[in-house]
Amino acid sequence: MGNRKRIFQSLQTAMLLLLISLTGGSGLMTIYGADTEEELLIPEKKEEGILVPSSDQQDQDNTHNIWKESGLAGECHDAVPQAEQNRTEGWIAWDESWEYASYSAIHTGMAYLYRAPASRGIVVAVNAGHGTAGGTEAQTLCHPDQSPKVTGGSTGEGAIYAMAVSNGTTLLDGTPESQVTLSLARLLKDRLLQEGFDVLMIRNSDDVQLDNIARTVLANQVADCHLSLHYDSTETDKGFFFISVPNVESYLGMEPVASHYQQHMALGNALLSGAISQGIMLYGDGTLPIDLTQTSYSTIPSVDVEVGDRASDYSPQTQGRIADAIVTGVKQYFGVG
């Protein structure tokens, strides 16, 4: 795809979003298969436009007021890095004493912490989606409080348990999703290190024996934000989006979601701004609400990013642009130049 076409698509996206915001949304039928090999149909989305947390955080009595329509720009805010600063570069093994550690079924693998030469002291967890042999044979709780899932996804609405890690989809040329998420993760890691971010590589090879809960628990402990990378299971090259937090009262009231969903949304919106700045096509408004295991256990800003689908180009050039977009979004989120 040429630059001119990309710019045109980007303009089209901007015009579409403007139109949606002016008309109040047109209720697009959405086909998706985020984080799964299944494809599902979901009903009309109730809200269009980018959702960001309202500034009125005190109004906890009325959950509906927590969300508001907003423009595309991700919000800059006072994100204070809290990751441990005294860890040295190297492999990080599992620790049963970590919060939510007991909910994980697969955690014999290790993540690798890279320190940037000119470190800003901010750790970004880069989680290449899938790539855990045996992950489909184990089950874990969707929510730490054992409540049922509030939306569909790779596991249906109402489920209490989900696969510990799904196999992911397969690109149209037969390449497993886990392979293209790893190549993107490596490009992203290199760019983040160049920009002074430390990187926690959750999966640093074809396979890591860490399930979705273990990956999240590790990120919670070591990193300041968590980005999982995925390609969706549709075949339309539909564009870039992130999995937003479902606007469901019971879900927004459940810990640790209640204390962190505004961070997840702000991080996701910053990534969308980064994508737009790189001329990357968005899918719809760039968000799709799904109740994910990752979100349900995250105590740091945490987003599942769907950077393309089965039909998308994943050449080093295209993945490099996606990595640049994500770095731009991360820098915006943490308010660093």
The answer to whether the beta carbons of residues 181 and 230 sit under 8 Å apart is: yes
Q: How far apart are CA 49 and CA 20, in angstroms?
A: 7
Report the 10 Å Cβ neighbour count for 173: 9
| Cross-strand pairs, 225 | 124
The answer to whether the beta carbons of residues 100 and 213 sit under 8 Å apart is: yes
Q: Tell the smallest beta-carbon distance from residue 230 to Zn ion (Å).
A: 3
At 141, give phi and psi (nearest 5°): -70, 130
Q: Tell the smallest beta-carbon distance from residue 45 to Zn ion (Å).
A: 21
43 preceded by cis ω (within 30°)? no
Q: Judged by CB, which is closer to Zn ion: 63, or 318?
A: 318
Q: Judged by CB, which is closer to Zn ion: 53, or 168?
A: 168
Paired tokens of 296:
């349900």
Q: Tell the smallest beta-carbon distance from residue 168 to Zn ion (Å).
A: 4
Q: Give the CA distances from residue 177 to residues 17, 57, 314, in Å, rounded to whole numbers and listed in that order.
A: 29, 38, 10
* Longest CA pairwise span in the chain (Å): 53
**DSSP string over 17-32:** HHHHHHHT-----EEE
Q: Judged by CB, which is closer to Zn ion: 226, or 230?
A: 230
Which x/- pattern, by CB under 5 A, does the window 110-139 give for Zn ion?
Answer: -------------------x----------
Q: Total number of residues binding Zn ion (CB under 5 A)? A: 4
Q: Tell the smallest beta-carbon distance from residue 146 to Zn ion (Å).
A: 25
Q: Which of 35, 48, 224, 291 contacts Zn ion by CB under 5 A?
A: 35
Does 291 bind Zn ion (CB under 5 A)? Our answer is no
Q: Judged by CB, which is closer to Zn ion: 35, or 211?
A: 35
301 preceded by cis ω (within 30°)? no
Q: How far apart are CA 225 and CA 290, in angstroms?
A: 19
Q: Tell the smallest beta-carbon distance from residue 297 to Zn ion (Å).
A: 17
User: Looking only at residues 207 through 236 of this chain, which bind Zn ion when binding is defined by CB under 5 A?
Assistant: 230
The answer to whether the beta carbons of residues 240 and 286 sit under 8 Å apart is: yes
Q: Tell the smallest beta-carbon distance from residue 267 to Zn ion (Å).
A: 18
Q: Tell the smallest beta-carbon distance from residue 210 to Zn ion (Å).
A: 15
Paired tokens of 169:
């989809």
Paired tokens of 70:
């907003």
Q: Tell the smallest beta-carbon distance from residue 163 to Zn ion (Å).
A: 12
Q: Which of 33, 168, 239, 268 contacts Zn ion by CB under 5 A?
A: 168
Nearest-CB residue for Zn ion: 230
Paired tokens of 52:
């960001």
Q: Which residue's structure tokens are 């990187």?
A: 199
Q: Judged by CB, which is closer to Zn ion: 53, or 129?
A: 129
Taking contact as CB under 5 A, which single stretch among the options 11-19, 35-43, 92-100, 193-201 is the one that binds Zn ion? 35-43
Q: How far apart are CA 66 and CA 54, in angstroms?
A: 5
Taking contact as CB under 5 A, which single stretch among the options 120-128, 167-175, 249-257, 293-301 is the one that binds Zn ion? 167-175
Binding site for Zn ion (CB under 5 A): 35, 129, 168, 230
